[in-house]
Amino acid sequence: MTSSSNESAERTMERCAECKEEVKGNDKAVDCDICGKWIHIKCRKLSNVLYGELKKATTVTSTCPGIKFLCQSCDRIFEKFRNNMKQIVEKQLEMERKQETLLMNLADTKKEVASVKDSLNKLIQDRDNEASKKEDKVEEDIEDLKTQLGEIKMKYSDVTRVNGAEGVSIISTNQVTPLRTIQLEVSEVMEREKRKNNLVVFGVEETNDENMTKSKIDDIMQAIGIDITKVKYMGRVGRTITSGKSRLVRVICEDAEVRRKVLKGANNLKTVHGFERTYISPDLTKSQQESDKQLRDKLKEIRLQYKEAKINNGEIIIIDNGNRKILHPKQQN
Supply the pLDDT for residue 249. 94
Structural class in CATH, domain 4-70 = alpha beta
Question: What are the residue boundaries of the structural domains of the chain, listed by start?
Answer: 4-70, 75-175, 196-283, 287-328
The predicted-structure confidence for 113-144, as pLDDT tens digits, reads as follows 888 888 888 887 777 776 555 666 666 777 77
- Topology of the domain covering 196-283: Alpha-Beta Plaits (3.30.70)
* Whole-number Å distance between alpha carbons of 1 and 73: 16
User: Does the pLDDT value for residue 199 go beyond 80?
Assistant: yes
Strand partners, 169: 162
Residue 59 scores a pLDDT above 50: yes
pLDDT of residue 149: 65
What's the pTM value of the predicted model, to 2 decimals? 0.44
Contact 327, 316 (CB under 8 A): yes
Question: Is the confidence at residue 239, as pLDDT, over 90?
Answer: no
58 half-sphere exposure, CB direction, 13 A CA radius: 16
Q: Matching CATH topology for 4-70 and 196-283?
A: no
Task: Give residue 154's pLDDT band: very low, low, confident or very high (50, 70, 90).
Answer: low
Average pLDDT value for residue range 53-82: 72
- Which one is predicted more confidently, 275 or 136? 275
Higher pLDDT, 198 or 186: 198
pLDDT tens digits, 5-55: 455 445 556 888 888 888 887 888 888 888 888 888 888 888 888 888 887
